[in-house]
Structure 1
């Protein structure tokens, strides 16, 4: 990972070898040893101060690079085109695809007074934000259950001085007929298409902590409505979104709708899906003038991020078609119904030279191939979608690679659906996706999530892969979508394992160094 950190570590190593010594006019001498944030002296100092066995991320682990990427975000995650205030979560705008939690994109959200952080899955395919709360039946909060050193939180209204229950007469209470005459609290229940998967409880109002996306990082306290999820069922108990689901849909209940209605941000937000599994989310981001765009197909009764596809290009094959699809960050794969599914899969198959693998009931994909012994000789047909209006949406990661029985296999990561088309995470990867609800358009631009144009292609020998066949996250192996209100599409686990090959700009290195020098000089002078 040749980066700013290599240069910075070189600078710091000099200070370790030769203590930085300065002498002022009074003859006093000041000496400082500078250390990397994960160095042994820093670890020892923090352990002594905290008095606990603090768990440091292992070098080379996802936590290690996520922490460094977060520093990059603070220094470099600026410059998006917008004249209006943009906000993100107080814990940072970084998002991360977590393998042990269904490969969905997660981020930290802080709620209540005092604040409590929740690791929530980001989902543009649903509206309600809910967290486990005063649990009757919730997923385990034990870190050992999910393979990382982080105990998950449970919200308790009694522990937050700013919590309020949403009454039955609230305009946001859609289940008034089910309100209790005694309690008078507004209940909710959201059923998801995945078999027996749901969340239910009561609606709450409390403070969610945000920060401005500028150099000041001003804290913004937003009053939001969310679900106190007392009972979870199905996939939510099996590792998919165990600490809550953050609905980003169009309904007035969603957090983006609440933020724009309160005048805190423009009615738009963006999500960047990095090819290394790390991305970011920003509320109020309207994108840039040079992005591709297509209008949403809005249905007044239940608006979703639905777009029209008017053509598909696979390699040199041009396919004239016309279908609508939902843009859903909560679905790891892309689902297509016929005739679009047959068009794209058979065209892809016709251009692949590698031997096709026989069907496997463990794998939801129909078109899988043995990778050539010389991986660099494997040629993957390119795919792009022509959107309504003519803009081209390039798909940078149309395949997944897995190791099965000591052989590498790659599959076209498109699942056949019965009646619903969904553009999932794998097709969104490599882009910053802008959900401009004000103009009712979807925007996209090739992006690496660090304000750098991604001009490099990923060679086959660096493709992400897994050693296990896909398993369900929020959806069952047999996909049976239903387009009903308060019901979202099923979701399958993506098997893309994050790789970390991002190289930041060199300029931020000097910012770090100037900061260290500033601290030294401030003490000396």
Structure 2
């Protein structure tokens, strides 16, 4: 059984508008995702069996669903909770677009030793170089470690050292640095430029543990394939961050090889793919209990699915913000109105009062009666 949240969001990109649709699928079995025809890739949680095997971490990480397992997830959420960005072609393209996914497939994996995030293997540049990036619906920018003075080059594991790839514009024949006089460089960023021909700078600051990524914008090819069973190669030009300096949790385990922002800002990859006509303005993510998942760009969902609209006009308009109007506990509906965001970088659901107290008391009462 799947729960789907979707919305047609009018999204302004330069002089054009296109509908932006975000689909979040929560599947009990990953096999349920196999029917989508989109560009996708697999997602893995850092504590999932495939990733533990990849890094030789079996026996060192908490057993799934054990008390230590949830304690680690809760601790990680407390550290990163509340992080937000501090700074940072035309027409309706929603019809007849083939869904896309990453070149190495649409599988994702949850890697708990790397921040309890879901990761995917993306391929960038010419020749192509792969990166294990964390997927984050709570931010917008894709950045990769790039000619960096402060970043993670290797990951240690019981089975040995895992070398991580580092991106360099100088080694990719299709890479192009974004100058300050480019329309891709915002006025705020231009104010930090010493000259028009300087590289357009960026800085992403997260509100926890002094975590940030700093560098400049580049353009290069993101290698995708069609997710309709035909595996047709598609090379999409995207703009992303060449991350020269990473700080905080990016140096201690969380997203050491890059962060893939999936928000609704113009700079995000889903928005870029839709704006340039590669896909319809939507994407879907599937998660399963074993940590394996999928992501597909251009997936418009299926008929008869449940949905809820996004709240528009919020200060943080690039976030997937929804309004909760009713909660059912033990079959009893509670009329309770509050807003919440979807954040793939957070392990648990967090509530503020009065919602938290009302739900907690209802659950306690229901448990006592049972």
TM-score, normalised relative to structure 2: 0.71
- Tell me the residue number matched to 2:235: 221
Relative to 1, partners in 2 of residues 1:146 and 1:244: Cα closer, same or farther, differing over 3 Å? farther
**Superposed, which structure 2 residues align to 1:287-326 within 5 Å?**
287-299=301-313, 302-303=316-317, 304-326=319-341
Distance in 1 (CA, whole Å) between partners of 2:197 and 2:159 is 39
2:108 paired residue number = 95
SS at match of 1:342: helix
Show the counterpart of 2:284: 270
- In structure 2, what is the equivalent of residue 423 of structure 1? none
Q: Whose strand proportion is higher, 1 or 2?
A: 2
Show the counterpart of 2:167.
155
Which residue of the other structure, out of 168, 171, 175, is the alignment partner of 2:180? 168
Residue in 2 aligned with 1:206? 220
Residue 127 of structure 1 aligns to a residue whose secondary structure is coil
Q: Secondary structure at the match of 1:158?
A: helix
The whole-number CA distance in structure 2 between the counterparts of 1:350 and 1:147 is 49
Question: Kindly tell me: are residues 148 and 351 of structure 1, through their superposed partners in 2, closer, same or farther at Cα, counting changes over 3 Å?
Answer: farther
**Are the equivalent residues in 1 in contact too, given 2:51–2:109 (CA < 8 A)?**
no
Q: Does 1:248 align with 2:262?
A: yes
* SS of equivalent to 1:260: helix
Q: CA deviation at 1:342?
A: 1.3
Rg larger in structure: 1
Deviation of residue 170 (structure 1)? 2.2
* CA positional deviation for 1:148: 7.5
2:139/2:263 contact within 8 Å kept: yes
Separation (CA, whole Å) in 1 of partners of 2:234 and 2:253: 31
Q: Deviations over 1:340-369 (max 9, x none)?
A: 111222222223359xxxxxxxxxxxxxxx
Which range moves more in the overlay, 179-188 or 248-257? Answer: 179-188
Q: Which consecutive aligned stretches of 4+ in structure 1 deviate over 3 angstroms post-superposition?
A: 63-66, 145-150
| Aligned mate of 1:193, from 207, 212, 221 | 207
Do the aligned partners of residues 88 and 146 (structure 1) sit closer, same or farther apart at CA in structure 2, a change above 3 Å counting?
A: farther
SS at match of 2:237: strand
Seen in structure 2, the aligned counterparts of structure 1 residues 283 and 148 have a Cα distance that, compared at 3 Å, is farther
User: Is 1:62 aligned to residue 68 of structure 2?
Assistant: no
For residue 135 of structure 1, the aligned residue among 139, 148, 152 is: 148
* Distance in 1 between residues matched to 2:327 and 2:229, nearest whole Å: 42
Deviation at 1:302, TM superposition (A): 4.1
Distance 2:259 2:348 in 1: 18
Further displaced range: 253-262 or 148-157: 148-157
Change (3 A) 1:147 1:98: farther
Say yes or no: does 1:341 pair with 2:356.
yes
* Corresponding residue for residue 22 of structure 1: none
Secondary structure of 1:322's match?
strand
1:401-412 → structure 2 map (5 Å cutoff): none
Distance 2:230 2:358 in 1: 50
Question: d(CA) in 2 for partners of 1:242 and 1:319?
Answer: 42
Are residues 230 and 61 of structure 1, via their aligned partners in 2, closer, same or farther at CA, if it must alter by over 3 Å?
same
Partner-residue secondary structure (3-state), 2:363: helix
CA contact (8 A) 1:110 1:117 kept: yes
Moved more, 303-312 or 345-354: 345-354
Residue pair 1:100, 1:147 contacting (<8 A) in 2 also: no
SS at structure 2 position matched to 1:107: strand
Alignment of 1:74-85 (within 5 A): 83-85=96-98
Q: CA deviation at 1:103?
A: 1.4
Distance 1:300 1:338, change over 3 A: closer
8 A contact 1:270–1:282 mirrored in 2: yes
Separation in structure 1 between the aligned mates of residue 159 and residue 166 of structure 2, nearest angstrom: 19
8 Å Cα contact 1:100/1:146 also seen in 2:
no
Shift of 1:208: 0.7
Figure out how many residues of one structure are paired with residues of the other and give that number: 280
CA shift digits 1:100-149 (9 cap, x unpaired) = 1111100001111111100000011110000111111113x323159786
Query: Following superposition of structure 1 onto structure 2, how do residues 380-419 of structure 1 map, counting pairs within 5 Å?
Result: none
Question: CA 1:119 to 1:85, structure 2 compared with 1: closer, same or farther past 3 Å?
Answer: same
- SS of 1:282's equivalent? strand
Q: Structure 2 vs 1, CA of residues 121 and 189 (structure 1 numbering), >3 Å: closer, same or farther?
A: same
Matches within 5 A, 1:436-475: none
Distance in 2, Cα, partners of 1:278 & 1:61? 9
Take 2:349 and 2:222, find their aligned partners in 1: how far apart are those partners?
A: 32
Q: 1:257 aligns with which of 243, 259, 271?
A: 271
**Which one of 105, 119, 128 corresponds to residue 106 of structure 1?**
119
Aligned: 1:352 with 2:364:
no
Q: 1:171 to 1:342 in 2, by over 3 A?
A: farther
Structure 2: runs of 5+ lacking an equivalent: 1-47, 55-94
Q: Is the 8 Å Cα contact of residues 175 and 218 (structure 2) preserved in structure 1?
A: yes
Q: CA RMSD in A?
A: 2.4
Q: Secondary structure at the match of 2:113?
A: helix
